[in-house]
Structure 1
């Protein structure tokens, strides 16, 4: 497994420290409505494989565990304007993944909250 880039971790920490409360978040209800209106919305599950095996995955979602997220960036949408919703089991990892995508130039990325 690749080691995290210290500069990237610093950038993520700075970004997370400066975003307003609820910025980039989306509720389950809103995400469901958006999926109906935009079936091309990309869902990314950043939970580990054993979590997905235990509880399942939303149909059509990509599973890219946070620990592998940057190493597997070739699986991210090529179009940085793509609407993306990221989720995990509690919101922390999805917020980190959202911030990583923002740092790579993706702008329509939100983290699913319960």
Structure 2
């Protein structure tokens, strides 16, 4: 599935959509600022938390970090575990916040 731009995500949120947003930054980064409605699971904890996300396997999940690197790794990990609609937020939280 194609990745998503900050503009597209903000448009969808403005239209009232509530996509599943997974923040894979560290907890302290999330505490400094977050995307409304996002769930924080740091990338290092993701492998042990995958079972908790099992019911989301067929739903769209938008993953993000600060700039896009860690979330690309998270997207790959989730895809390997059978998640079929994972999208990386291009530019990460930094790009989202700059919009």
Aligned with 2:17 (options 38, 53, 74): 38
State TM-score, norm by structure 1: 0.70
Say whether the 8 Å CA contact 2:50–2:78 is kept in structure 1.
no
Matching residue of 1:67: 44
Q: Deviations over 1:25-65 (max 9, x none)?
A: 211011123333632x1000000011112x22112111000
Partner of 1:50: 28
Structure 2, unmatched stretches of 5+, are 92-99
Q: Distance in 2 between matches of 1:70 and 1:96?
A: 11
Distance 1:49 1:79, change over 3 A: closer
The 1:89/1:79 distance shift into structure 2, 3 A limit, reads closer
Segments of 5+ residues of structure 1 without an aligned counterpart are 1-22
Larger radius of gyration: 1
Give the alignment's Cα RMSD to 1 decimal: 1.7
1:91 to 68, 74, 93: 68
